[in-house]
Amino acid sequence: MSESVGKITSHLYCLTMTQNFSPNLLDNTTLAFFRDKSMSGAVSAAYVLISLINFPANGLSMWLLVFRTSPKRPSIIFMINLTLTDLIIGCVLPFQTIYLMKGYNWTFGSRMCSLTTVLLYANMYCSILTMTAISIDRYIGIVRPMNFKNVRKNFWAVIVCVVFWAVVLAVLYPLESTDLMYQVPDLNITTCFDVLKYKMLPTVKHWILYLMIWCGVLFLIPFIITIFCYVNIIHSLAKTRSDRKDKALRLALYVLLVFIVCFAPNNILLVAHGIRRLFYGDTLYTAYKLSLSLSCLNSCLDPFIYYFASKEFRQNFRKVLGLKRARNQDSSQQHTSHHTLLSMK
């Protein structure tokens, strides 16, 4: 690679690496991407739908977890952290929606561009790490209850959540320290994060290493740990016949489904697109952009994890909906009917 590479302004996701020194010259593929109204319309519609579900679902979850669920065991603390990440994603999505509806034209300034981008990805990957922590907590409680008895303390749960945020923000530091806005004079727009400057990292090797750390540390390793935990939980409960086994199985399948549907496509496409763009000048960015909406969809699905994972949350949720009262009434009617039949005999 020539010495001029350090001066090249290029884009990891849309721009082809070029020897042209004009900072605002994009290739035809990139310009076509920004002109595609159907793509931006589909993603913005998805973001609107996710936001509409996110706030009431996670708002109710946060209220139940903080004010109605006790004691605050480690699993509950992890769920509170997960709900917080989901609510922050819900706050960020309206800015992304407006950006897409304006045809990839960011009008909120450079600081807001960096803030919303970092928050979007930080909360996405904090969700992954927190879901993994919930699976580890359940593994310890069911499979190894005596080995790690002193570890399951609220203090350590809080520390783990803080460490998660620190790790994610450290990995995302290049985004935090770079101007993510990019002017496109041909279309009279200013993009936010959709065009990254090559000089954000020193060399192609640094880009590849960064992508591998990003996806490896924040997705692949947590995914493997989660699979390990739930496989062992299911194996441990396999010989029992109880509702606990059924609930554990449903939770395991649900969490794995969320990982596969919501997080796997986005991270696989991130690495695949980065490699194709850096080495072959090709792009998978349209698919990556669509997969990002799947990752955000996770914020609407997490309340189901709380429902399966926490008996207290499940009971309080039923109380809010009046299901417990209806169930008690049915039980009372059945009990009365039973005694009536006995008296008739």
What residues are paired with 184 via a beta bridge? 189
The alpha carbon of residue 52 and the mean position of all alpha carbons in its chain are separated, in whole angstroms, by 17
In the block, tokens 């960020």 appear at: 92
pLDDT class of 331 with cuts at 50, 70, 90: very low
Query: What is the rounded average pLDDT for all residues in the chain?
Result: 81
Residue with the larger pLDDT of the pair 308 and 279? 279
- The pLDDT value recorded for residue 80 is 93
For the chain, percent of residues with pLDDT exceeding 90: 39
In the block, tokens 């939770």 appear at: 251
- The pLDDT value recorded for residue 248 is 76
pLDDT class of 242 with cuts at 50, 70, 90: low
Question: What is the CATH T-level fold of the domain 11-309, as seen in this structure?
Answer: Rhopdopsin 7-helix transmembrane proteins (1.20.1070)
- The pLDDT value recorded for residue 3 is 38
- The pLDDT value recorded for residue 250 is 80
Cα–Cα nearest to 68, from 248, 244, 321: 321
pLDDT in tens, 148-205: 666 668 888 999 999 999 999 999 998 888 889 998 888 999 999 998 877 788 888 8
pLDDT class of 1 with cuts at 50, 70, 90: very low
- Is residue 345 packed enough to be buried (19+ CB in 10 Å), middle (13-18) or exposed (0-12)? exposed
- The pLDDT value recorded for residue 93 is 94
Quick one: average pLDDT of 322-338?
A: 48
Pair of tokens at residue 46: 């998805």
- The pLDDT value recorded for residue 326 is 42
CA gap 60, 71 in Å, rounded: 18
CA gap 192, 328 in Å, rounded: 54
**Residue 209 above 70 pLDDT?**
yes
* Number of other CB atoms surrounding residue 146 within 10 Å: 6
pLDDT in tens, 228-239: 998 898 888 877
Please list, in sequence order, all residues whose beta carbon lies within 8 angstroms of the beta carbon of residue 301, skipping any fewer than 6 positions away: 258, 262
Quick one: average pLDDT of 287-313?
A: 85
**Residue 215 above 70 pLDDT?**
yes
**Residue 33 above 90 pLDDT?**
no
- The pLDDT value recorded for residue 5 is 37
Under a CB-based contact definition with an 8 Å cutoff, are residues 190 and 110 in contact?
A: no
**Residue 289: CA atoms inside 13 Å, Cβ hemisphere, count?**
23
Please list, in sequence order, all residues whose beta carbon lies within 8 angstroms of the beta carbon of residue 148, skipping any fewer than 6 positions away: 140
Quick one: average pLDDT of 255-268?
A: 91
Q: Which range has the worst mean pLDDT, 157-171, 208-222, 331-345?
A: 331-345
- The pLDDT value recorded for residue 150 is 66
Residue with the larger pLDDT of the pair 309 and 216? 216
pLDDT class of 323 with cuts at 50, 70, 90: low
- The pLDDT value recorded for residue 218 is 92
* Number of other CB atoms surrounding residue 237 within 10 Å: 19
What's the pTM value of the predicted model, to 2 decimals? 0.82
